[in-house]
Structure 1
Amino acid sequence: MRRWIKKWQKVIVWGLAIAFIAGIAFWSVGTYIAGRAKANQENLSEEVVGYLEVKGQQVKDKDLQVTYRQLEQEYQNLLMFYGWQNFDPLFDEPAQKALLLENILKENVVIYYAKQEKLFPSNKEISSKLAEYKKQIESNESLLKYVKTYYGSVDNYLDKVIKPDVLRTMAVEKVRDKVAKVSEEDMKKYFEENMNQIKRKYDKVDASYVNFEDKTAAEKFLAEAQNVGFDQAATNLNLQPQIFSGLTRGLFEEEYENQIFSAKEGEIVGPIPFASTFYVFKINKSFVINNFDSFKNSDGYLSEMNSLQSERFQNWYDSYVSENEIKLVIKDEVYNVWSKINKVSRFEDLVEIYQSLVKKLFAEDGSLLPDVPDTMKSAFLALLDKVRTFANDDEINSLGPIKDQEKKVVEYLYNFYPSLLRVAQAMYRVNPDNVDAKYNYFSLLYSQIKPYLLPDYVPYILQTILELEVGLESIARNEDAPKEYRTTAFYNLYDLTKSIGDKTSAKFYLNELRKLDPNYIDFDSALQELESGQ
């Protein structure tokens, strides 16, 4: 297993993390309206969960208020759009809903401005946009069937579901075009100020290459290639050229980088050193930004223009909110706390939230209050995770009896939600010697990552694989643990290593499992399967 891990570490040059929840910029919330979900809203309240205040006064316009029903509908739409399933109801769901609620309220600030400045689209503009959606729906047989089944007709669906969002989205676009418009002159100035950065992002080369461990061998190949051609020289030396598509600046030292990106198509360059290897490239295709016109014709022009406009839009929003003393008010206590935790980045703010939560969760004698929502208890654990990120041990200990408080909350939640991974992980953290907690956590963790044990995903979950190996090994080797735990741990280690192609380790764990329980599975068939590579 260690040898297999070392092999993967050589090819990983990016961060080993995946962000499962991405915030949506408030001005693009409406971009997914074509895939609207028919949310189950029978039991949802029309009570307001969030609203705007301007100069200390609540904005009474119902279009600028958010109800529980609307929040749930937008949440379901979000899940459908991104294909997210099985969100943790204690951690992921309240955090995401709080973020979504804040984004809707931010968009409502833009709508408030649009109403003040009369920037709403005309009926003609709305009708034209709806006609585009109608054409898309009618060209998709399955979508058309869905719409007719649930809404009776396409026109009814467009009028009841799509039109309100079209109106808001077009209003936001009109505001953006007014307050954050980017002209060609703006882009010229932006290009002059950021040319080097732009070239690093968008200069691209497609090349064939061969590599050598010895510089002399690379120079000899280069001379041969310049005489007979790159491909023929590779054939003469029984070398198989590799393809590097989309090579960008920043990989090689500047001296050698300039050789590559100044070369013409068909030109051979090298030797190019990288680590202990020497490369010789044949440039197959090259796109290099040398002036504004070439930048304007590049793939990056529109992307950079949108980025500049978004930056200006954000700056306008911040100024508008400050100048008009606009406040986003989240009435719901749980979402309010989660919203604060989502945004907090200073230890002083963490302390304030911590002290507020302690008053809500614990009685004067330190016992856990029974009537506090479980999502408030999970918020407390999420806060402590952030505290550990921003504070040192002395700062943490100065806050109060955090370990005792955390243990009470964790044990309470574990009693009701032992199958939630985050809860199981917390229970294992506060009770690391409890074999039941350890077994539950690592079993759940393995179940979660098992679908991703594929070559393309392995680099992203390598840290988790390492954690699993250590955790499962400690259970499997623990002679005081129940036999069921040990056999399951050995089997999961076998299954894990087999899935990632580490046959040697898989065979080892299979034999260890056989010693512990000879009747656990058909071992001869399993070994035969390993040997055959199936």
Structure 2
Amino acid sequence: MHETRWMRKIQVPIIWTIAILFAAGVIWWSVATYMSGKSRETGSTTPTNSARPEDAFAYLTKDGTPLEDPIYWISYSEYDDTVRDVLSSLSQRNIQLDPYFKGSAGMSEIDVRYMVLLDLIDQKILIYYAKKHNIYPTEDEINTRVEEIVSKYTSDENYKAQIEQYYGSVEAFKEKVRKSIFPSVLKEKVQNDVLKDVDQKLKTYFEENKDEIKNKYERVEASHILLTSEASALELKNELLNGAINFSDAASEFSIDRNSAVLGGSLGSFGHGQMVKEFEDAAFSATPGEIVGPVETKYGFHLIKVATKTVFDTFDELKSSSAYDQFKNDYESDEFKKWFENYKNNEKFGYVINDEELKIYNEFKKVQNAGNTDEYLKKLSTTIFNESGGISVEGSYLPIAIFVQLSDEKLNNLKYELNDLKEMKKLSETTPATILSLSNEEIEKKLSELNDSTDTKLKDLYSDAKKLKEYQSKYGEDINSVNELLETKQKEFDELNSRFATAVKFLYNMMPYSFEVLNYMYRVDSENPEVVLRYNEGVYTHNLKPLLDSPSTLQSYLDYYKQQLGDNARMFLIDYPLQKIERDLNTKIINATNAATDLKVSALYLLVDAYEKLASLPDQNNILVELYLRGEKRYLNELKKLLPNDNDVASKLEFVEKQIEELQQETTPPATE
């Protein structure tokens, strides 16, 4: 139904609402969508008189000169406490980060550490502004805000009980709020000071961007019933209008959109561009409470019932709508970001990092943002590798991780260039000179004339000539120069690929716990039985096992992917990934003569576990269950050969054989006399 698919919303405890409230005070713009955490009141600790900026984790500069007041420094304890809280909050939300590689989370631990640092630096700049303009938050202001928040969440007995369970007591919660509230109060006071006459500016902004604002903030909350034919939709609509059945029950019973059917047809709230055009037009035109349709889309015929609608054509209508607060908040946030970036540049603020690892990462991010990674990659290469081609590193593995990422990107680019050059060389040898002597326009004209021709050979010749000319404009027409370039690029690729493999193997030995490093290692040495086992164990643990361990989670994923893949959703989620794991383990470990017995045993146990979990999933027919049990039996038999005296294996094998026998008895029809 959606052009961009939706997933079912999950209820979360109130405690996360509170944690997210704290997060807004810690990381304003960078990682707000990733974390829930809390910060410390900046400047609450007074350093000793002997403290220097160089002793801090990082410090603020202005016009290249360090700011001497310690309130503009980031202490090691302030930084470490904030990072620890952010990472802990991420972990509690089951977001696991790799130390240096982004992985499935979309960010790494070093990314989080770096963004926390940058946001603490921004916080120091806001403190500078607040001090200069005499709007620094007072103790009374902090106390007032703390009381407001605590009262809000403890006035409800259910919320209060959750708070007491999570924090130990209301007083402990209050102390957490106190330590977390300073950044948000600081930002609020600065924002109020720099953004003047907002209401008048909002009206002007609305008039200048009306269509864009309507598309962004107009919303409809609706339910629908999706049917296969117009006749069935009209028949059901009459029953709904006559009161023979209510909309929710009808959706649950008749709608072929089973994802919304289980919710009584509810699609929740949606805006412009989230539904197919015919559906969107009907929903936004409907009167709340009335049933409209049938509306035909590529999915079928819809009956639509709008619960609420937020639409507007004038600023006054927007101002009186439920969308106004969000519109105003977004406008103020965007304007404040623009002001803040200008303020930092105009006042010539900078910062110095004293932590070695983040100093390295800061340099890398600046190079990356400037798009000049090739020179940086060469610099890393000369730093990391010694004369014999081995790794020389002291302290952090971060430079090696950065080298692996950058060299991987470079190798991919080189592959494309090499493929181009090789194809160009081949086309140069096979394209007739008579065709190649034509201009680009003449070749295009000839291709157009040959569009309906059955002479595929001639069409291919002109297509090849067109492609060759495109290559020549990119790499030059001199074939000798192209051959030299091909040789140079191939040499560059081979040398970089060799160093890439060396760096990956080093990280594999030093960081065996990193699944992302294991992914790289599998690419480098996919025939090594130990690597094959650990890689497939990682894939199974990260991707498949969580679905097999939780039928409700699996069903949620199936509901989502069914909208895109239909009946193939299960194969995409379960069957294909398991088949790949199974094929890899069988070929390279279980049936391989060079694999150690302990690796074979581990591989077999993994497959036994997978098939056992598959056989235990609910709502499966007996034929499928028996198929999975036979897979489990097969690998238990292999285990028994390797572990003949293992009673657990023998016992499990006996149990599985009994299950298969019982299933066969259930499906065998009784004999007739």
Counterpart Cα distance in 2 of 1:252 and 1:137: 37
- Alignment partner for residue 335 of structure 1, among 344, 358, 365? 358
AA in 2 matched with 1:316 = W
Instruction: String of CA shifts for 1:338-383, please: whole Å, max 9, x gaps.
Output: 3455576568422243233223311233221042422332233344
Which of 523, 527, 530 is matched with 2:656 structurally?
523
Following superposition, the deviation at residue 441 of structure 1 comes to 1.3
Match 1:24 to one of 19, 24, 27: 27
1:405 counterpart residue number: 499
In the TM superposition, 1:220-299 aligns within 5 A as 222=237, 224=238, 228=242, 231=245, 240=254, 242=261, 243-248=265-270, 249-254=272-277, 257-299=280-322
Q: Per the alignment, do residues 319 and 376 of structure 1 end up closer, same or farther by CA in structure 2, a change over 3 Å counting?
A: same
Quickly say closer, same or farther: Cα 1:491–1:294, change in 2 above 3 A: farther
Which of 310, 316, 341 is the equivalent residue of 1:318?
A: 341
- Tell me the CA shift for residue 143 of structure 1: 6.5
More moved, 393-402 vs 405-414 = 393-402
AA matched with 1:210: I
Change (3 A) 1:315 1:35: closer
Aligned amino acid, residue 383 of structure 2: K
Distance 1:253 1:98, change over 3 A: closer
CA distance in 1, matches of 2:120, 2:251: 63
2:584 aligns with one of 462, 470, 474: 474
1:105 to 2:121 alignment: yes
Partners of 2:496 and 2:531 in 1: how far apart? 20
Secondary structure, in 3 states, of the residue corresponding to 1:78?
helix
For the aligned residues, what is the CA RMSD? 4.5
Kindly tell me: are residues 299 and 429 of structure 1, through their superposed partners in 2, closer, same or farther at Cα, counting changes over 3 Å? Answer: farther
Equivalent residue number for residue 39 of structure 1: none
Counterpart for residue 478 of structure 2: none
After superposition, the C-alpha distances for 1:454-508 in whole angstroms (9 at most, x for unaligned) are: 2225658997865554234321354215532442342244256457769566643
Are residues 1:80 and 2:88 paired? yes
Kindly provide the CA deviation profile for residues 492-526 of structure 1, in whole angstroms up to 9, marking residues without a partner as x.
44256457769566643441342343354331466
Mapped to 2, the partners of 1:254 and 1:360 lie a distance apart of: 56
1:65 aligns with 2:65: no
Contact 1:368 1:409 in 2 (8 A): yes
Write the letter of the residue equivalent to 1:443.
E
Q: 1:440: Cα distance to partner?
A: 0.2
Number of corresponding residues = 502
CA distance in 2, matches of 1:96, 1:237: 44
Partner of 1:456: helix, strand, or coil? helix
AA in 1 matched with 2:27: I
Find the partner of 1:170 among 185, 201, 209: 185
Is 2:630 the counterpart of 1:511? yes
1:451 aligns with 2:570: no
Letter in 1 for 2:98: D
Corresponding letter in the other structure for 2:330: S
- Of 61, 64, 67, 1:56 maps to 64
Q: Contact 2:59–2:351 at 8 Å: present in 1 too?
A: yes
Letter in 2 for 1:456: S
Give yes or no for the alignment of 1:214 onto 2:229.
yes
1:354 aligns with 2:377: yes
Q: Which amino acid letter does the alignment assign opposite residue 224 of structure 2?
A: Y
Q: Deviation at 1:443?
A: 0.5
2: CA distance, partners of 1:363 / 1:34: 43
Contact 2:40 2:182 in 1 (8 A): no
Unaligned residue ranges in structure 2 (runs of 5+): 8-23, 42-52, 102-107, 155-159, 256-260, 419-488, 562-568, 641-648, 667-673
CA distance in 1: counterparts of 2:661 and 2:182, whole angstroms: 63
Q: Tell me the distance in 2 between the aligned counterparts of 1:374 and 1:186.
A: 50
Residue 417 of structure 1 is matched in structure 2 by 511
State how far apart, in whole Å, the 2-side matches of 1:76 and 1:283 are. Answer: 46
Match of 2:461 in 1: none
d(CA) in 1 for partners of 2:197, 2:662:
62
User: How far did residue 267 of structure 1 move?
Assistant: 2.6
CA contact (8 A) 1:490 1:509 kept: no
| Corresponding residue of 1:488 | 605
1:431 to partner: Cα distance: 0.9
Deviation of 1:174 after TM superposition, in Å, equals: 1.3
Note the C-alpha offset of 1:74: 0.5
What's the CA shift string for 1:142-165, capped at 9, x where partnerless?
5775698xxxx99xx95xx87675
Distance 1:312 1:507, change over 3 A: farther
Give the residue type in structure 2 aligned to 1:338. Y
**Does the 8 Å CA contact 1:476/1:489 hold for their aligned counterparts?**
no
Paired with 1:187 and 1:389, the residues of 2 have a C-alpha distance of 47
Between stretches 498-507 and 244-253, larger displacement belongs to 498-507
1:315 deviates by 0.9
Contact 1:95 1:335 in 2 (8 A): no
1:119 is matched with 135
| DSSP-derived class of the 1:211 partner | strand
Identity over the aligned pairs, expressed in percent? Answer: 23
> Cα gap change, 1:10/1:443 in structure 2, threshold over 3 Å: closer, same or farther?
farther
1:236 Cα offset (Å): 11
Q: State how far apart, in whole Å, the 1-side matches of 2:354 and 2:251 are.
A: 73
Distance 2:2 2:601 in 1: 37
Pick the structure with greater CA Rg.
2
Question: Which amino acid is 1:523 matched to?
Answer: V
- C-alpha distance after superposition, 1:427-467 (max 9, x if no partner): 11211222221210120232234335522256589978655
CA distance in 1, matches of 2:251, 2:82: 62
Which structure's relative contact order is higher, taking Cα pairs within 8 Å and 6+ residues apart? 1
**Which amino acid in 2 is paired with 1:417?**
M
> Would you say the 8 A contact 2:40–2:82 is kept in 1?
no
Give unmatched runs, 5+ long, in structure 1.
1-8, 16-21, 37-44
**Paired residues of 1:213 and 1:278 also in contact (CA < 8 A):** yes
TM-score (norm 1): 0.77
Instruction: Name the stretch that deviates more: 363-372 or 82-91.
Output: 82-91
- Higher deviation after alignment, 234-243 or 263-272: 234-243
The answer on whether the counterparts of 2:608 and 2:635 sit within 8 Å (CA) in structure 1 is no
Paired with 1:399 and 1:24, the residues of 2 have a C-alpha distance of 41
**Partner deviation per Cα, 1:67-109 (whole Å, 9 max, x = no partner):** 3322111011213344257643454332321221122112212
